[in-house]
Amino acid sequence: MASGPASAFTGPDAPDLDALRKCVHCGICLPQCPTYHVLGEEMDSPRGRLYLMRAAAEGRIALTETLGQHVDRCLGCRACETACPSGVPFGQLLEATRAQIERHGTPAHRGLLTSFLYRVFPNPARLGTLLGPLRLYQRSGLRRLVRVSGVLRLFPRLAAMEAMLPDLPRGVELPELTGARGTRRGRVGLLTGCVQRHLYPHVNRDTVRLLSVAGYDVVVPRGQGCCGALALHAGRLEEFRGQASALAASLGGEVDWIVTNAAGCGSAMKEYGHWLPDVPAAQALAARTRDVSELLAGAHLPLGRLDATVTYHDACHLAHGQRIRTQPRDLLRRIPGLKLVELMDSDLCCGSAGVYNVLEPGMADALLERKVARILESGASIVASGNPGCLLQIQKGLRARGAAIEVVHPVDLLARALTERA
Ligand code: SF4
Ligand code: SF4
């Protein structure tokens, strides 16, 4: 019997052909896809990308540059997964395809900047070292000079990074153990994250405080590294597995839950079971990972008045990656005086998507423009979102429009409203 053409995918991590064949080309996912929204191109829709992946899996096409471009342009937001009635696991298929391109193809993003991003961002120590000189850049007046000179226009990706950088805060040292208050509900380990720890350290501090008031002993293990989310979404599976195994070893102590306040991290950690089936510690970590809103939703919090009109942006890796939508909203509604107004297209990606906004600044800006327009229409004076990447991206967009709207993590507002002081 003649055998068919050889698949362009090889190895144990090759995208699952059965999963690819689940797509019945119905197109229900198309209106939910941010890149399809912007470009209107079939090959930049979930259905088009799945068609390309399946053609490569069945050996009908090779891992061409064109295929790579359509795959690269995908945000990995997984809105298509939420919409899909056939249960196509788009996120895992995308990550597996990116791993194949990384290994055998010609990834568009294999330049100096990409190597730099993947060396620095998923490493809290390196990121901290880099931020020292950047703090000086911001405070010495050099930033103003660079911006006025317009020199960054020559380097659009660098300009995208520079525009995103908020005023860098001072670090916050968290105690290794914070005891529970009131009725004890359990013991949790906190992931401090890479970006969160350096750019939004108060979010970690507020998370500890809220969890403690909610009745949890909070352990912050020293020496914890990156969860590997960035590497996973880029298909750098070896790197990802190394980071995930190390994290499982450092966070996997005697705790009931492992808590994260970063949607991207939580989503990746909950996927450890799929990607590291032979590492029991990683499996255990995946099963015990919870977003902070999931734990706080079931706890009593003594909340005082906070008069504000707030809108909520669904981070993709909370809404689509973890199916968490109601808990953050319900928590915000529990704050007396706080009026929560719905944001139109709240779960449409803001264009952040890890380092996507640096690697694909054109598409990221187009999506950010839409997001900012919706936020301005909402009439809110504060926008809340549970992912540091979204906070950075939305802050950048609102700053560019000169809008005086605060951008915060939901735990920030809950901590402001807490009546019980530390
Ligand atoms: S992950 Fe997001 S950007 Fe990619 S195909 Fe799905 S909906 Fe579109
Ligand atoms: S991914 Fe799902 S929703 Fe999209 S075309 Fe395929 S079957 Fe339909």
Query: Which ligand sits closest to the CA of 36?
Result: 1
Report CA torsion sign: 213, 218, 222, 223: negative
pLDDT, position 122:
77
Q: Could you tell me which of 244, 246, 303 has the C-alpha nearest to residue 274?
A: 244
pLDDT, position 305:
97
> What is the 110 CA–ligand 2 centroid distance (Å)?
30
For atom 5 of ligand 1, the residue with the nearest CA is 46
Q: Is 414 in the pocket of ligand 1 (CB under 6 A)?
A: no
* H or E, element range at 156: helix 156-164
Atom number, ligand 1, closest to the C-alpha of residue 46: 5
pLDDT category of residue 297 using cuts at 50, 70 and 90 = very high
Q: What mean pLDDT, rounded, does the chain reach?
A: 92
User: Comparing 356 with 180, which gets the higher pLDDT?
Assistant: 180
For atom 8 of ligand 2, the residue with the nearest CA is 26
Residue in the structure block whose two tokens are 């053409």: 5
> What is the 415 CA–ligand 1 centroid distance (Å)?
34
Query: Which ligand sits closest to the CA of 32?
Result: 1
Q: What is the dihedral of CA 298, 302, 307, 310, to 10 degrees?
A: -20
Residue 102 scores a pLDDT above 50: yes
Residue 388 scores a pLDDT above 80: yes
CA angle, residues 191, 192, 195, in degrees to nearest 5: 125
pLDDT, position 421:
63
> What is the 179 CA–ligand 1 centroid distance (Å)?
42
Residues forming beta bridges with residue 408, ordered by sequence position: 384
Rounded-to-integer distance, Cα 62 and Cα 8, Å: 6
Q: Per-residue pLDDT tens for 332-350?
A: 999 999 999 999 999 999 9
Rounded-to-integer distance, Cα 134 and Cα 128, Å: 10
Residue type, 239: E
Q: Could you tell me which of 343, 204, 326, 202 has the C-alpha nearest to residue 265?
A: 204
Query: Which ligand sits closest to the CA of 89?
Result: 2
Q: Per-residue pLDDT tens for 390-418?
A: 999 999 999 999 999 999 999 999 999 99
Q: Could you tell me which of 219, 215, 135 has the C-alpha nearest to residue 174?
A: 219
- On the 0-12 / 13-18 / 19+ scale of CB atoms within 10 A, 402 is exposed
Q: Is 26 in the pocket of ligand 2 (CB under 6 A)?
A: yes
Residue 338 φ/ψ, nearest 5 degrees? -85, 125
Rounded-to-integer distance, Cα 136 and Cα 33, Å: 40
Residue 409 φ/ψ, nearest 5 degrees? -80, 145
Give the residue, out of 74, 78, 345, with the most ligand 1 atoms within 8 A of its beta carbon, to mutate for a pocket test. 74
Residue 253 scores a pLDDT above 80: no
Token pair in block for residue 112: 């100096």
Residue type, 258: I
Q: Is 79 in the pocket of ligand 1 (CB under 6 A)?
A: yes
What percent of the chain has a predicted confidence (pLDDT) above 90? 75
Residue type, 150: G
> What is the 144 CA–ligand 1 centroid distance (Å)?
37
- On the 0-12 / 13-18 / 19+ scale of CB atoms within 10 A, 61 is middle
Query: Which ligand sits closest to the CA of 94?
Result: 1
pLDDT, position 242:
96
Listing DSSP states for 108-150 in one string gives S--SHHHHHHHHHTT-HHHHHHHHHHHHHHHHSSHHHHHHHHT
Strand order in the sheet with 177-178: 177-178, 216-219, 186-190, 257-260, 289-291
* H or E, element range at 407: strand 406-408
* H or E, element range at 238: helix 237-251
Rounded-to-integer distance, Cα 205 and Cα 32, Å: 35
pLDDT, position 109:
54
Q: Per-residue pLDDT tens for 141-179?
A: 777 777 777 777 777 767 777 777 778 888 888 999 999
**For the chain, what's the residue count?**
422
Q: Per-residue pLDDT tens for 6-41?
A: 999 999 999 999 999 999 999 999 999 999 999 999
Residues forming beta bridges with residue 406, ordered by sequence position: 382
> What is the 204 CA–ligand 1 centroid distance (Å)?
30
For atom 7 of ligand 2, the residue with the nearest CA is 23
For atom 8 of ligand 1, the residue with the nearest CA is 33
Q: Per-residue pLDDT tens for 213-238?
A: 999 999 999 989 999 999 999 999 99
> What is the 44 CA–ligand 1 centroid distance (Å)?
8
> What is the 177 CA–ligand 1 centroid distance (Å)?
40
Q: Is 35 in the pocket of ligand 1 (CB under 6 A)?
A: yes
Q: How many CB atoms lie within 10 A of CB 18?
A: 6
Residue 1 scores a pLDDT above 50: no
Contact by Cβ (8 Å): 212, 179: yes
Residues forming beta bridges with residue 178, ordered by sequence position: 218
Domains of the chain: 17-104 (1.10.1060.10), 301-417 (3.40.50.1860)
Q: Could you tell me which of 332, 305, 341 has the C-alpha nearest to residue 417?
A: 305
**2: helix, strand or coil:** coil
Question: What does DSSP assign to residue 15?
Answer: P
Q: Is 78 in the pocket of ligand 2 (CB under 6 A)?
A: no
Report CA torsion sign: 45, 51, 53, 56: negative
pLDDT, position 159:
76
Give the residue, out of 18, 21, 25, with the most ligand 2 atoms within 8 A of its beta carbon, to mutate for a pocket test. 25
Rounded-to-integer distance, Cα 392 and Cα 389, Å: 5
Q: Could you tell me which of 245, 243, 187 has the C-alpha nearest to residue 216?
A: 187
Query: Which ligand sits closest to the CA of 83?
Result: 2
